[in-house]
Amino acid sequence: MREEDKIKNGLLFSPGDPELAAMKLKTHNLNVDYNMTHEDETEKRTEILHEIFAELGANVRIQGPIAIHYGNHTRIGDRFFANFNLTIQDDAEVTIGNDVNFGPNVTIVTPMHPMIADERNGKTVLNEKGEHARLCWAKPVKIGNSCWFGANTVVCPGVTIGNNCVIGAGSVVTHDIPDNCFAAGVPARVIREIGDADSIRHMPEILGGCTVISEAD
């Protein structure tokens, strides 16, 4: 079985496998290309992002710099925005929905490593060939539609975040978050459900002549 197939099946795999290393090298070089562009070189930036990601929706804007590990394991929906310093370590699949916004320094990680040092270092783990090997495994991350992540949010392996969620700045998300929730903390926990009380229509001091319309309008 290819190491790539092991990743998809949630099995231990060798991150140093030549095929995987070639995928990562290509994407790491594309990261450098992207990070050397100017912000107003929009066409060039979009071309590079299409080379990096498995799927890229319409009207995507990523401020940069970026640090994407594989890229071809990540699918991004329409109208995605990421502020400075986006990191996606997508050994396993990462799926991001439509209308998602990331603050600065958001990190998504999927790989897992053994807790026992000798297992992590390959001293007590043998691969299918009977050779000592440093192996890891990975868990997919899924992010729903219309989510907003505050600055310095970290999403850990295996997490699913529902639609319409807000993740507070500095949070470390280690467990699933249901739809329509505000979650924050280390580790992140659901603080409350998001509702009408959160509408900016209740903040006249900031509206400055703007209007919030209801869905019925």
Report residue 191 as tokens: 């603080």
Strand partners, 155: 108, 173
Give the list of residues 6+ apart from residue 59 with CB closer than 8 angstroms, or none: 78, 79
Cis before 114 (ω within 30): no
113 is catalytic: yes
Alpha carbons 73 and 111: distance in angstroms, whole number: 12
Strand partners, 66: 86
Alpha carbons 75 and 157: distance in angstroms, whole number: 16
Whose tokens are 């440093």? That residue is 134
Active-site position among 113, 132, 175, 202 = 113
**Whether 31 contacts 67, CB under 8 Å:** yes
State phi, psi for 136 to the nearest 5 degrees.
-140, 180
- Taking alpha carbons only, the member of 95, 93, 99, 39 closest to residue 66 is 39
Alpha carbons 77 and 58: distance in angstroms, whole number: 7
Which active-site residues does the annotation give? 113
